[in-house]
């Protein structure tokens, strides 16, 4: 959200008549976040005491109505009593929303005017009190935003720095009362029915505007506590997830003392891959969550309670890397990959994100999946269950010992909490908002100019990107014949493996370290970088199309990453030759002719693709590590302390796309081809 110092919120005197028809269903308001109004954003040189939270949230994001378009609903608000000794708070308004006053101030007035159940005066509120409609709220309401102002500290008739009303000129009790907060009751009406939602609004001097989730919570559907000791732990509803042709000494086991499933590996003299672990088998309810309980209104979340043990030394790179997943069959998979040390002994950032070594206080990692609402899932909802897995996923020869899971949960939260922000861009320092929007254009546009070179890990590239193009004949690199392609074009970035022979493995990858506006690296351009923060969740949206058939696409992997490659969330659409019911899901989701994603996930005119979402949790999370001093020491959004080096900008968010043709030796008829023309990064509040 971008605050303008000269912005005024003008209350219109025009009455809005609202809807007058009779509707069967009342609106339903979801979890509007609590609001903390600060003034740091506007303290430019001096303390301006401008307590306005511009574009705090969108009304339409937090309401549903089965028979009314949500943008047509009318909104108003009341202010309740204050739970402190500030007696004036019971009758004096604290806030305006979009330049409008509350209709009733204090519990007594609310009870007198609204009654206990009818809220009749809010069914068709006067224009002077209506918050949502453009006719009443001015241009700010065209997109349905709510902007909140503390009119005690920053009265509309005042001017910077609000001498006489600013916090330093107020009684101590008044300042404390505003910091404690006051409940605001919002009303949404369709003209006949009205519904309410209370949120807490605080004003805290010398702080930044923030939102905190109110009702945006994770609901557990299945909790696997892993206490069954028989059959080596496999009777808990989890089975071994094996690696074919293991290259190192590795095994799965059960730790009865800590009721944990183990994946154990020995160190080796070379960087041999290990990828093995445990996967749900459906017993004991481990796959009881189905698409029928998720649908379009919810997001799936899997939680993994992990610890490390048995390492021969204390170096961070001895803790194996791990991968955790939640998936629809083997068709659509959301992954989180955590690299503990990146192969570097004592890597300080890896130490802040790797699993705890205290079994009684495991690190909790979260993996979210925004299920695509394709026909196969919708029509077969009750039979489309979600599986989960965790793997020791490491190629570092120093890694050894155990990766252990002592508990696992799966459940949901409301999709409204990860709704798109924007459409206007917000600065990267905003509390929430659409903070990046990359669009293709001449020479790749925001994605940068790039030509992949066979056998290269960078290609002929711009400073902001790199290409990886490889073809293998068995285990041997093959630079002859047809090669994978990564090539910038007038629409963004084109990628394909169409020329790769059917008996070869073709891999191509595109990585973008920031848009072209962030390069070359200067103090100013580094301040434009999107960076992870604590208490946040990021939705990274990729817009892809393809000209080939979706039923012959290879594996497509979309990546959102930070800490270089140490923290990576992915969405994987498996190759179409995966087989069985998974193929039916893949061919409806993959870009290309035959794609069947819903219209809501398309841009107008799309028929062969659309938007694909990667939900990225922040590594800065006290549930992973209670203290993360090395992450905290990295530059936050909007700050540059070392222009010449990336050493303090490791929290930058990057994106990537991979095509993997004939991965695993299956699907000789597969080949990959996509056009990437847009990427967006939406900053949201974390879901707890």
What phi and psi, each to the nearest 5 degrees, are found at residue 677? -125, -10
Instruction: Kindly tell me the sign of the dihedral angle through the C-alpha atoms of 616, 405, 341, 456.
Output: negative
Q: What is the pTM of this model?
A: 0.72
> Confidence class of residue 434 from pLDDT cuts 50, 70 and 90?
very high
pLDDT for res 143: 73
Domain boundaries, the chain: 28-214, 220-415, 428-685
- Regarding beta strands 536-545 and 609-617, do their DSSP bridges make them parallel or antiparallel, or are they unpaired? antiparallel
pLDDT for res 397: 84
Q: Are 413 and 686 in contact (CB under 8 A)?
A: no
% of the chain residues with pLDDT over 90: 67
For residue 655, the 8-state DSSP code is: E
Would residue 257 be called left, alpha or beta, if left means φ above 0 and alpha means ψ between -120 and 50 degrees?
alpha
Average of pLDDT values for 366-393? 96
Q: Is pLDDT at 651 greater than 70 in this prediction? A: yes
pLDDT for res 7: 24
Q: What is the DSSP string of 144-173?
A: TEEEEEETTTS-TT--TT-TTTSGGGS-HH
3-class SS at 380?
coil
Residues 6 or more apart whose CB falls under 8 angstroms from that of 650 comprise 349, 562, 563, 564, 634
Token pair belonging to 357: 């070594």
Q: Tell me the per-residue pLDDT of 180-196, one tens digit each, with 9 for 90 and over.
A: 888 899 999 999 988 88
Q: Are 507 and 659 in contact (CB under 8 A)?
A: yes
> Confidence class of residue 24 from pLDDT cuts 50, 70 and 90?
very low
Instruction: Kindly tell me the sign of the dihedral angle through the C-alpha atoms of 277, 282, 284, 285.
Output: positive
Length of the chain, please? 688
> Confidence class of residue 44 from pLDDT cuts 50, 70 and 90?
low
Task: Please tell me the CATH code under which domain 220-415 is placed.
Answer: 2.60.120.260
pLDDT for res 63: 83
Average of pLDDT values for 468-494? 94
Average of pLDDT values for 69-81? 90
Say how far apart CA 650 and CA 656 lie, in whole Å.
16
List C-alpha distances in Å: 649 to 438, 514, 529, 565. 20, 12, 9, 13
Q: Are 110 and 185 in contact (CB under 8 A)?
A: yes
pLDDT for res 392: 97
pLDDT for res 86: 55
Average of pLDDT values for 15-25? 35
64-68, 78-82, 250-254, 334-338: the lowest-pLDDT one: 64-68
Q: Are 416 and 403 in contact (CB under 8 A)?
A: no
pLDDT for res 16: 25
pLDDT for res 205: 92
Q: Is pLDDT at 9 greater than 70 in this prediction? A: no
Q: Are 350 and 339 in contact (CB under 8 A)?
A: yes
Say how far apart CA 28 and CA 62 lie, in whole Å.
8
pLDDT for res 83: 59
Distance from chain centroid for Cα 471: 33
% of the chain residues with pLDDT over 70: 91
Q: Tell me the per-residue pLDDT of 558-606, one tens digit each, with 9 for 90 and over.
A: 999 999 989 999 999 999 999 999 999 999 999 999 999 999 999 988 9
Q: Tell me the per-residue pLDDT of 195-211, one tens digit each, with 9 for 90 and over.
A: 888 888 999 999 888 88
Residue labelled with tokens 């192969």: 343
Average of pLDDT values for 609-617? 98
> Confidence class of residue 91 from pLDDT cuts 50, 70 and 90?
confident
Q: Nearest to residue 489, comparing CAs of 675, 671, 658?
A: 675
- Among the ranges 127-136, 307-316, 455-464, 482-491, which has the highest mean pLDDT value? 482-491
- Among the ranges 45-54, 224-233, 451-460, which has the highest mean pLDDT value? 224-233
> Confidence class of residue 346 from pLDDT cuts 50, 70 and 90?
low
Residues 6 or more apart whose CB falls under 8 angstroms from that of 664 comprise none
Q: Nearest to residue 501, comparing CAs of 523, 528, 534, 479?
A: 479
Q: Is pLDDT at 462 greater than 90 in this prediction? A: no
Say how far apart CA 571 and CA 592 lie, in whole Å.
17
């Amino acid at each position: 959200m971008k605050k303008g110092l000269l912005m005024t919120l003008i209350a219109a005197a025009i009455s809005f008549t609202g809807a007058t028809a009779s509707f069967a269903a009342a609106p339903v308001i979801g979890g509007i976040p609590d609001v903390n109004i600060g003034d740091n954003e506007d303290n430019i040189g001096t303390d301006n005491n401008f307590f306005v939270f511009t574009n705090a949230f969108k009304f339409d994001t937090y309401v549903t109505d089965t028979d009314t378009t949500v943008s047509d609903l009318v909104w108003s608000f009341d202010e309740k009593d204050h739970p402190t000794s500030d007696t004036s708070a019971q009758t004096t308004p604290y806030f305006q929303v979009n330049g409008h006053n509350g209709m009733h101030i204090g519990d007594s007035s609310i009870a007198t005017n609204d009654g206990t159940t009818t809220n009749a005066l809010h069914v068709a509120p006067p224009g002077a009190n209506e918050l949502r409609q453009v006719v009443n709220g001015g241009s700010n309401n065209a997109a349905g935003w709510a902007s909140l102002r503390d009119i005690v500290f920053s009265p509309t008739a005042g001017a910077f720095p609000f001498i006489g009303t600013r916090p330093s000129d107020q009684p101590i009790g008044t300042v404390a009362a505003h910091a404690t907060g006051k409940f605001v009751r919002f009303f949404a009406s369709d003209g006949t029915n009205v519904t309410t939602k209370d949120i807490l609004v605080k004003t805290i001097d010398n702080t930044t505007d923030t939102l905190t989730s109110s009702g945006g919570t994770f609901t557990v559907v299945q909790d696997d506590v892993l206490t069954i000791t028989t059959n080596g732990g496999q009777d808990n509803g989890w089975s071994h997830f094996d690696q074919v042709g293991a290259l190192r000494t590795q095994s799965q086991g059960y730790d009865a003392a800590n009721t944990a499933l183990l994946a154990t590996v020995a160190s080796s003299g070379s960087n041999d891959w290990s990828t093995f672990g445990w996967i749900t088998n459906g017993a004991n309810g481990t796959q009881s969550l189905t698409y029928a309980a998720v649908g379009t209104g919810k997001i799936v979340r899997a939680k993994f309670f992990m610890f490390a043990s048995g390492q021969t030394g204390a170096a961070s790179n001895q803790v194996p890397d791990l991968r955790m997943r939640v998936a629809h069959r083997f068709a659509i998979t959301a992954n989180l990959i955590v690299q503990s040390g990146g192969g570097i002994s004592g890597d300080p950032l890896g130490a802040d994100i790797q699993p705890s070594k205290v079994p009684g206080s495991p690190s909790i990692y979260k993996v979210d999946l925004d299920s695509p609402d394709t026909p196969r899932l919708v029509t077969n909802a009750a039979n489309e269950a979600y599986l989960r897995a965790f793997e020791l996923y490491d190629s570092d020869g120093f890694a050894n010992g155990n990766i252990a899971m002592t508990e696992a949960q799966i459940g949901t939260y409301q999709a409204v909490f990860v709704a798109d922000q924007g459409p206007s861009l917000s600065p990267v320092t905003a509390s929430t908002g659409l903070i990046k929007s990359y669009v293709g254009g001449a020479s790749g546009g925001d994605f940068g100019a790039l030509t992949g070179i066979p056998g290269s890990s960078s290609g002929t590239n711009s400073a902001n990107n790199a290409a990886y193009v490889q073809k293998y004949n068995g285990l041997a690199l093959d630079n002859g014949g047809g090669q994978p392609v990564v090539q910038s074009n007038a629409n963004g970035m084109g990628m394909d493996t169409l020329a790769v022979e059917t008996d070869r493995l073709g891999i191509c990858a595109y990585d973008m370290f920031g848009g072209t506006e962030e390069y070359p690296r200067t103090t100013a351009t580094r301040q434009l970088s999107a960076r992870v923060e604590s208490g946040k969740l990021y939705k990274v949206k990729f817009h892809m199309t393809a000209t080939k058939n979706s039923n012959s696409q290879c594996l497509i992997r979309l990546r959102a990453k930070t800490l270089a490659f140490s923290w990576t969330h992915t969405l994987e659409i498996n190759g179409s030759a995966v087989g069985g019911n998974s193929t039916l899901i893949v061919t409806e989701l993959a870009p290309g002719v035959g794609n069947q994603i819903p219209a809501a996930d398309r841009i107008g005119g799309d028929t062969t693709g659309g938007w694909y979402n990667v939900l990225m949790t922040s590594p800065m999370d006290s549930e992973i590590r209670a203290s993360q001093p090395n992450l905290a020491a990295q530059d936050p959004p909007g700050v540059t302390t070392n222009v010449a080096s990336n050493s303090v900008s490791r929290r930058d968010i990057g994106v990537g796309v991979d095509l993997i043709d004939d991965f695993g030796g299956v699907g000789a008829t597969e080949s990959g081809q996509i056009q990437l023309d847009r990427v967006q990064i939406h900053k949201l509040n974390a879901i707890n």
